[in-house]
Amino acid sequence: MPDAEPCPIRVRNLRNKNRIMQINIKKFTYTTGLTGICFITAGSLITAIFYRGKNDELYSPLNHFISELGQVGVSQLAPVFNSGLIVGGLFFALFMFGLGLYFRNWLAYIGGLVGIFSGISCSLVGIFPMNNLTTHIAVALSFFRSGLIAILLFSVVIILDKKQKMSKKLIIPGIITVLAFASFLFIPKMVEPGAAANLLKPKAVRPEFFVNSILEWLVFATVLIWVVCLAIYLIKKGKETTGSLFLTDYGCK
């Protein structure tokens, strides 16, 4: 079912109230999304390559938390990783904001607001690395919980959207991502309660395979894939929907 004639969302130019400018909301959304994951992925990969742990071990996603890449005094390139999270998280927040404007319904707006909070929480993880463990855990959990809710809401938006602004196939990566979030938040508590705290103790023996870290990296991968899938779809769309950060005329005739 083809999209209807795109409705421009107009904004006032503060320097000249008689001028109107338009922002392409599709381009804004996929650009911020892809930019965000580039910063986060690049920062993570570069830091992981040069990582040497407390016992001079190499980094492995099978038994290391993502946050260990940002541990100042242990991770050699911790500032690179933390900077990637800070910048990437802000772009992720803008991506979620753009998605809310793209769908333009109340459920999408809620998803966008929760997504903005999730992106900001991601940035705060970089601002408060695990050297400040109490604050770090609080903002990290904020990201995981709000990220789950935001992506679940947008998956529901895609299911209910009668205008077919996105393919129903995009529900699949969304649901997989939600399940990854839920697995990370709940499974470790059931199968390895207290294991994460024990691993962070001095001279702790690191297992070859650690459920917590594996599931955390699964969340990382599925979120990136979800963003890429939605961004590619928006890029491929033939017609463009426009939007803006400062709305003054939001109606369509």
pLDDT of 1 higher than 80: no
Q: How confident is the model at residue 46 (pLDDT cuts 50, 70, 90)?
A: very high
The more confident residue out of 249 and 84 is: 84
Domain tally, the chain: 1
pLDDT of 10 higher than 50: no
φ/ψ of residue 181, rounded to 5: -60, -50
Is 213 contained in some domain? yes
Q: How confident is the model at residue 5 (pLDDT cuts 50, 70, 90)?
A: very low
Is 253 contained in some domain? no
Is 84 contained in some domain? yes
Angle subtended by helix axes 211-236 and 25-50, to nearest 10: 150
Is 101 contained in some domain? yes
pLDDT at 20 (0 to 100)? 43
Is 116 contained in some domain? yes
The answer to whether residues 153 and 128 touch, using CB atoms and an 8 Å cutoff, is: no
What's the domain range around 78?
A: 11-243
The answer to whether residues 144 and 86 touch, using CB atoms and an 8 Å cutoff, is: no
Is 106 contained in some domain? yes
pLDDT in tens, 135-180: 999 999 999 999 999 999 999 999 999 888 999 999 999 999 999 9
Is 222 contained in some domain? yes
Phi-psi region of 6 (alpha: psi -120 to 50; beta: other; left: phi over 0): beta
Is 35 contained in some domain? yes
The answer to whether residues 22 and 10 touch, using CB atoms and an 8 Å cutoff, is: yes
